[in-house]
A and B are shown apart, each in its own frame.
Chain A
């Protein structure tokens, strides 16, 4: 049986970048082929070439044993190649059926499309969608409005869209980036089912755990080149990480025991309302000392976001008290907190952390542009700012063409490094200051990042701790919480259920707490329902 899809010697150059350098890639029929690589390794370029969005400068593409030239996505679709992009191509106000029918039409025949829409052969389309959804276990209601669907369901719509066009080769571009762990597990089941029914799948990711969970073959790309392909049985996490990054990666963080000092942040009975004025944080108390990391675990939506916003001055505190180094900061503004020595790595780097249209340089001084030495009076001193930015770019290894490049042009990992550089350098400035140790609040600091960047950021956080900062780490990744924290607090429905020592905590114990089962109710070892 010829391979479903084969690329030989693909080379693609962009101005100043060699995006694909003689890449070979083979997808066998009926397999799930994981394509691993850090951001910017060339995975997406390769897939876009296979899908006809780009033309290769050199190389051949074979589909089912036939040498082909794919000059646009329509031709790719005609050859049975479907792609689910990381950012969905759906029209939110239309129904599932309408979205799928729309996608079927080509732009060229706009008039035909209008005619088709007018006739609305919806019923048979909906029937076909139901059929597909049953066949592959893709639970989707054809009459639902797409905008109302959760992200996971939207993704299923995208997959059905590809199947509806008779795709038997599916390219899934980082499908799990937007999913919760449970949703990701569901997706893997679906993928398995599709392969059983003869489909072939390319699965792009940079999460190592997922590769082991679902892939039949693993290929790794780095710097535009194919590093190698192997079977999961031959691979280990460490090996894959090394192939991706190009050097030894320390996955387990090697950190010395914490040496907690004085209390830096004291939270006493804080209440916070959410946007709909419901109580989201109900009487939370906690304390973080200098030189320790407190991990805040919990399923998304249990008040962590609101608590973080309250602590960082972005949300009003409805009750209780917050002390920073002994000073009352309950109602402090973000600016006052910056001045008091707080660093904040926000949950959503695009929404809060960066101004994407600003250059890296300006993002580096986003919180300190107004004060010496960055500004004299009202006049910014770009000499100082540029020097500072260049140094931080170097120290934090931010991959950018220059400090004038807009932050939006950087990869996610490098964007996060810009934020880390800004917040951590400000904290390090305060070493030796009289009024207490600095505080770092890091919310989902590695969400969506690749292995190399995660390792880098984890190391920086531990370094900040060792330098005497108090750290509050909020993360949805239990692995991250467990490996970084010194103590772990679990939040459930606005309360902190328990705070445990990280050295003795187990996944099962934390999983139960996250599900709202308190230690009194759940004796260790009695219930094993909360697996991860």
Chain B
């Protein structure tokens, strides 16, 4: 009885395999563009860049009538292979998420010059001893062989500056602090902007910051946050994945204020929403969408595409529960800083 059932089932599977085998090589010749997204090890539901990037891709795909797929990377040695999957399947545009994928994206871009690549949060500079872009070239994109690569970069210092203005305006103790992840350029931009923003609104403010060499160490982040709270800090800016989240948690448990990062953490990390003034968000979805729109219009360019306040690539997330508790004066100052940063009248003080 059971045996027969299994045999029938096996036959069914085999038959359908054959059917599919004959049907498979049919499609893919239409004018519809195919977009592939390769996530980093976080996966597509990470409530952060991967998810946001996929949202941007989906928005563009729906609007322009394309199709899109994603592949989640299990580990760094998968990056190349996953990009290759899309390339050999004749995808037109491949979006890669995160600075971890810099080398893999560059190598594959050189291998497949007819496919367009976009990488989020990573730009290429001529570097000594680099295999990808040696210091002998002037510009990695123009003469460095990356003519088909667009780097989607964010001016974290701008939104960091706004977060600083908010923190400086709200602090009662006159001390603000940040719990940061690894000391890499995007994190540093956030931190520098944050500190300068606070000083802009309140010149005598005291700023504290610690870089923790991890993005996943919540307990260490919390511990660090608590120690800075002990030094008088009452607004904690958490910059750096779960490590930064530890800082947010420390503020929440002491009933103090906190500012999230990257995405609107009020939505993605509701455990700390009571303490969350706002989040210094990088609108990855907007940046990806803008890039794909440019592809659709054939106006996309190789090189660095900077997402900033001007093009809504970065910005403070809504204040949510704190909206009524933030004085209009502080809101006005934020508005003023935004305008002046946009116009270039004000600088964030970050120098690469």
Given a CB threshold of 8 Å, the question of whether A touches B is answered with no
Interface residues of A (CB under 8 A from B): none
Interface residues of B (CB under 8 A from A): none
